[in-house]
Structure 1
Amino acid sequence: MAGLESISTVFCFLFFSFTALFSLFSLLVFILRLRPWCNCHVCRNFLTSSWTKDFDNFCDWYTHLLRKSPTGTIHLHVLGNIVTSNPENVEHILKTRFDNYPKGKPFTVILGDLLGRGIFNVDGDTWRFQRKMASLELGSLSVRSHALEVVAAEIHSRLIPLLASVSGKESNGGVLDLQDVFRRFSFDNICKFSFGLDPGCLEPSLPASKFADAFDLASKLSAERAMTSSPVLWKIKRFFNAGSEKQLKEAVTMIDDLAKEMIRQRREMGFGAKNDLLSRFMATVDDDKYLRDIVVSFLLAGRDTISSGLTSLFYLLSQHPEVTQAIREESDRVMGRAGATPSFEQMREMHYLHAVLYETMRLFPPVQFDSKFCQEDDVLPDGTFVKSGTRVTYHPYAMGRMESIWGPDCLDFKPERWLKNGIYSPESSYRYPVFQAGERVCLGKELALVEMKCVAVALIRRFDIQVSQPGQAPRFAPGLTATVRGGLPVRVEEREG
């Protein structure tokens, strides 16, 4: 009897293994039919990863290709992706033919497990509803004032004391990972501002956060889905709950659990008279799954983009002490020598600081590229034909490095390019789509700039911060936002007086 059971077990194992292999083979045949092999040099370089011989970052390889293109547009056939750095094309996609270039179902499927029906992953009426709600809230004076209070409290109660505690010390070799600090700082802020909850990630002990780690992993693995030559590849792994897809599922489950807990706590505490965004959305939305998706979208927007921008800022300031000194002089002139957080009015007077932030994000945009999907056959202004269903990507990282847009000094860090007679002078958002443009322009733009300015002023006036390896160019990890591999190790010295 035992022998028969063993034979049965082996038979079942072989049957299911054969079935799995047959399914895998069928899917691979489907891939080949769906996406014919392309033997052009760009696709070969992508498939073989030979571009890594000459470039540390995928975005730098794209920049190289776009510079060589007469139109500033390339076609990566194996990904079914048209990539452009042409401002006229960007305006066409984000404004002129906005309705023809939604996020699209392929994109929503890629990020669906993480973002669900959140504002960054939907189109049509669902997108319009969330955007209208967010616009009303983020534009109100009470919300802006609440945001400034949250940021100021986090700066003075946690950020400054943390840097002061390591100033001049040789513990850990005298080095602090500033990227990690900014990620913790912005995570605390967005949770307090959006949900009325304090995760305490920037406490002096720098506690580990399973949720923050899960969010990082889910962001990374979701982004990697978009880099596969066919969605069928990651869907196979998801079907078998294997490899990276198993990791993604586990990370998203942890994110779901915390989001549900946030919503539950807010319901128990009452949300009628609360200032946080979650409470305001809960007054209109009863669907907890929908609220979860909104929660996660705000976390992505408020945490990763701001920490990325601040990391790039202090990387560049470390190489340009004259810019640091100019910020100090401007802040002293506007605020006096007191160390308080600047008011909204004072921030509006700091034109040089504003220019520094814009110049930082020109070279290192927090979101390096953004994709849409063409609904109907179209022709871009540069003459590129776009077939229905094609992914179309505009590339802010590459655009910031184009001589055709910024001149021969495009690779130089020059805040002055944004100033006319000392006053900030904006560029077209289609030449500088760091905050997107058109109908999907970033609603949190002003709040993000306020948070970055407050941090910059507070730290620059109080500390000298030097990157440990200033000559080493950043290498970026895969993700939905720009994250530097290995962080940003710095040495901190408290200034006298």
Structure 2
Amino acid sequence: MATPLLLLVLFLPLLLCLGWFAIRNNNKAIIIPKWPVVGMLPSLLWNVSHDLLHDFITRVMKQSGGTFMFRGPWFAGVDFLITVDPLNVHYILSKNFTNFPKGPNLKAILEPLGDGIFNADGESWKSQRETIHSLINTTKFHHLMLKTIHFKLKNGLIPILHNTSKLHNNAPLPPPLDLQELMKRLTFDTICSLVTGFDPKYLSIELPSLPYADAFDVIEQVILYRHCVPATVWKFQRWVGIGEERKMRQAQECFDGFLEERIRVKRKEALDKKEMETVVDDDFLTMILSGEAGIDQGKLTDGFLRDVVFNLLVAGRDTIAAALSWFFWLVAKNPNVEEKILKELDQVMGKETSFPTTEELNKMVYLHGAMCETLRLYPSVPYEHKQSIEPDVLPSGHAIDGNTRILLSIFSMGRMEEIWGVDWMDFKPERWISVGSADEKKKMVVSYVPAYKFTAFMAGPRTCLGRKIAFVQMKAVASCVLRRFKIEVVHGHPVVPDASILMFMKYGLKVRVSHRA
């Protein structure tokens, strides 16, 4: 009897020949080769393994006119429609929103998020959204947020950058730093403090290793893996406890242990505070447990709180860290933009090096434009997934069946000439700025751009609740760092997007930091 290896050797050339003839006869200008049995999956996996996923999908979008149906193995059920057409995006996210929820397939992939706001639909999603909106828009929460950011800058990030720039003062070059790693540590400390009231001190001179912070990264990596392989594969791995799914289980156990401890501590603190006046600096979890959110106390189970907290940590940690990393890289590569930002910061804050107030942050229009331009080119969440309930016809004319998986490529949307013009490759904060009316003495204001064109914060009913908070944090960090330090990317350091559900740099951001004169 022939061995499996021999059968594979005999079968593979035949499969390749059949695929080649099928492609040649069907369409000489085909966008993605579609092989017998395995469909288009080999092209996807090859580009993922070579760090080309985002550029691959962008190329497909440009060649297909903005909408394309990806066909996977016929037996695996991984077909999905990809689109960057603004009319389709508006239709899916806003106009016919109810027909395009997350769907059961994506809920399974995003299992670690539980029934939190990012993974919930229907009444659960609506209730969580109302709760979060009511709490994060309070004056108390904004006060705590700015205070926390200033504290972490003063006692964490700035001392590290200062020590690095001083080290080897007589050497020709200061030692390199991974700025992306520092951003991840900064935002992890900040969001943990805001949501749970606990500062992990992940950002400190020693740059400590925290198992639960590392576990957070593993969970995100395995979620991407689940997107790229048939569900039967990763579900089998989960069942038998092998491969990537074994990593996922271990990481979830580690991070859930951290969350359980934080919830236990907060419950005890809430009981101790019952007879006390409300503390000004209450964190998000304390506000929920104290009844400020108006949620029935019977619903505040550990599982419910775990899902809410986990989703908020996802929203507030890596999204902002990724955006700041790309921002500093783009500014370092565009000295003309850096000069304009510094000029604006001097005009708004004066010559004294201090921490910006809310009023000063609101006046940083050019910096705001630079942040928007960063998110256009490198959105923190490069893709959004939906699934149709009923058959439908998109504005582009593409007919879809019920239960069709849909991928919105937010990364590719920022690279479409039809949307942004022939200069889409240029880093131009000016494209986000206009001149106000005569009554405003022609001062610069942030231009309005429709959410279905600039989808970094989503659109329609699921528009990101933390948009304003994100800009406050990013502008506060950027203004404090750029006024004090000159950042230069290490020569020859490769900067490429990682194949992840979040837009990080695969090899980090190696920079040299020096004090500004």
- What's the TM-score, normalizing by structure 2? 0.85
- The aligned residue for residue 15 of structure 1 is none
User: Are 2:201 and 1:200 aligned?
Assistant: yes
Alignment match, 1:295: 309
For 2:144 and 2:198, the matched residues in 1 are separated by 14
Aligned to 1:409: 423
Residue identity opposite 2:421 in structure 1: G
Q: 1:399 aligns with which of 406, 413, 435?
A: 413
Stretch of structure 1 that moved more, 40-49 or 334-343? 40-49
Which residue is 1:190 aligned to? 191
Q: Which residue does 1:463 correspond to in 2? A: 485
Deviates more, 1:165-174 or 1:135-144: 165-174
2:283 pairs with 1:276 = yes
Q: Is residue 364 of structure 2 the alignment partner of residue 350 of structure 1?
A: yes
- For 1:231 and 1:99, the matched residues in 2 are separated by 25
Asked if 1 retains the 8 angstrom alpha-carbon contact of 2:174 and 2:514, the reply is no
Q: Distance in 2 between matches of 1:82 and 1:49?
A: 14
Deviation at 1:48, TM superposition (A): 4.6
AA of the residue aligned to 1:134: I
How far apart, CA to CA, are the structure 1 residues paired with 2:152 and 2:251? 27
Q: Which residue of 2 aligns with 1:442?
A: 464
Q: How does 1:70-85 map to 2 (within 5 A)?
A: 70=65, 72-78=66-72, 79-85=78-84
Q: Which residues in structure 2 correspond to 1:359-398 (within 5 Å)?
A: 359-398=373-412
Question: Which has a greater percent of helix?
Answer: 1
Show the counterpart of 2:264. 264
Q: CA shift at 1:371, angstroms?
A: 0.5
Letter in 1 for 2:146: L
Question: Which residue in the other structure is 1:103 paired with?
Answer: 102
- AA aligned opposite 1:91: H
Shift of 1:53: 11
Determine the C-alpha separation between the residues in 2 that align with 1:84 and 1:435. Answer: 17
Q: How many residues are aligned here?
A: 455
What is the rounded CA distance, in whole Å, between the counterparts of 2:417 and 2:46 in structure 1?
22
Residue 169 (structure 1) shift = 3.0
Matched ranges for 1:135-284 at <5 A = 135-170=133-168, 174-228=175-229, 230-270=230-270, 273=278, 275-282=282-289, 283=291, 284=295
Shift of 1:321: 1.0
Query: Within 5 Å, which residues of 2 pair with 1:418-497?
Result: 418-421=432-435, 422-469=444-491, 472=494, 474-496=495-517
- Cα deviation code 1:277-296 (max 9, x no counterpart): 11122333421011111111
- What is the distance in 1 between the residues matched to 2:34 and 2:143? 50
Q: CA deviation at 1:182?
A: 0.3
Residue identity (%): 35
Determine the C-alpha separation between the residues in 2 that align with 1:390 and 1:80.
8
Which runs of structure 2 are paired with 1:93-132 in the superposition (5 Å)?
A: 93-112=92-111, 114-132=112-130
Which residue identity does 2:89 align to in structure 1? V
Q: Is the 8 A contact 2:320 2:470 kept in 1?
A: yes
Shift of 1:335: 1.0
Which residue of the partner structure matches residue 33 of structure 1?
Answer: none
CA separation in 2, counterparts of 1:218 and 1:376? 32
Cα pair 1:89 1:381 within 8 Å, conserved: yes
Whether the aligned pair in 1 keeps the contact of 2:458 and 2:464 (CA below 8 Å) is yes
CA contact (8 A) 2:71 2:80 kept: yes
3-state SS of the aligned residue for 1:235? helix
Instruction: Assess if the C-alpha contact under 8 Å between 1:43 and 1:76 holds in 2.
Output: no
Per-residue CA shift, 1:98-143, capped at 9, x if unaligned? 000001111111111x111111001011101110000001111211
1:337 is aligned to 351
CA contact (8 A) 1:42 1:76 kept: no
After superposition, what is the alpha-carbon deviation per residue over 1:357-416, rounded to whole angstroms, capped at 9, x for unaligned? 000110000000110111100111000111111111111110000000000000111111
| TM superposition shift of 1:43 | 4.5
Q: Is the contact between residue 315 and residue 470 of structure 1 (CA under 8 Å) also seen in structure 2?
A: no
Shift of residue 226, structure 1, vs aligned partner: 1.1
Give the letter aligned to residue 99 of structure 1: T
Find 1:326's aligned residue among 321, 340, 355: 340
Instruction: Report the CA distance shift for 1:106/1:50 in structure 2 as closer, same or farther (over 3 A).
Output: closer
Alignment of 1:36-75 (within 5 A): 41-44=32-35, 46-48=41-43, 52=47, 56-70=51-65, 72-75=66-69
Deviates further, 399-408 or 165-174: 165-174
Q: Which amino acid aligns with 1:64?
A: R
Map of 1:24 onto structure 2:
none
Amino acid at match of 2:177: L
Q: Which residue of 1 aligns with 2:14?
A: none
SS across alignment from 2:157: helix
CA–CA distance in structure 2, aligned partners of residues 465 and 95 of structure 1: 41
Query: What secondary structure, in the 3-state scheme, does the structure 2 residue paired with 1:226 have?
Result: helix
Contact 1:115 1:297 in 2 (8 A): yes
Q: Distance between the aligned counterparts of 2:49 and 2:248, measured in 1?
A: 31
Q: Equivalent residue of 2:512, what SS?
A: strand
Q: Distance in 1 between matches of 2:64 and 2:167?
A: 50
> Where in structure 2 are there 5+ consecutive unaligned residues?
1-21, 24-29, 73-77, 436-443
Report the residue type matching 2:237 in the other structure: K
Distance across 1 between alignment mates of 2:498 and 2:364: 33
Amino acid at match of 2:63: K
**What SS is found at the alignment partner of 2:68?**
strand
Normalising by structure 1, report the TM-score.
0.88
Counterpart residue type for residue 345 of structure 2: S
Q: Does structure 2 conserve the Cα–Cα contact (< 8 Å) formed by 1:318 and 1:470?
A: no
The worse-fitting range, judged by mean Cα deviation, of 152-161 and 266-275 is 266-275
Distance, in Å, in 1 between the alignment partners of 2:393 and 2:434 is 37
Contact 1:319 1:470 in 2 (8 A): no
Instruction: Kindly provide the CA deviation profile for residues 39-62 of structure 1, in whole angstroms up to 9, marking residues without a partner as x.
Output: 773455541558649974201100
Secondary structure of 2:266 counterpart: helix
Is residue 374–residue 387 contact of structure 1 (8 Å, CA) maintained in 2? yes
> How far apart, CA to CA, are the structure 1 residues paired with 2:44 and 2:69?
17
**1:318-356, Cα deviation, whole Å (9 max, x unpaired):** 101111111111011011112222112111111101100
What is the distance in 2 between the residues matched to 1:382 and 1:471? 41
Determine helix, strand or coil for the equivalent of 2:110: helix
Distance 2:373 2:107 in 1: 31
Match for residue 8 of structure 2?
A: none
Q: Is the 8 A contact 1:366 1:482 kept in 2?
A: yes
Write out per-residue CA displacement over residues 245-303 of structure 1, whole angstroms, 9 at most, x where no aligned residue.
Answer: 11100100011111100000111122663521111223334210111111110110000
2:11 maps to none
Residues 43 and 253 of structure 1: CA distance in aligned 2, closer, same or farther (over 3 Å): farther
Q: Which has the higher mean CA deviation after the structures are superposed, 167-176 or 302-311?
A: 167-176
Q: Give distance in 2, aligned partners of 1:402 and 1:54.
A: 24
Separation in structure 1 between the aligned mates of residue 321 and residue 386 of structure 2, nearest angstrom? 25
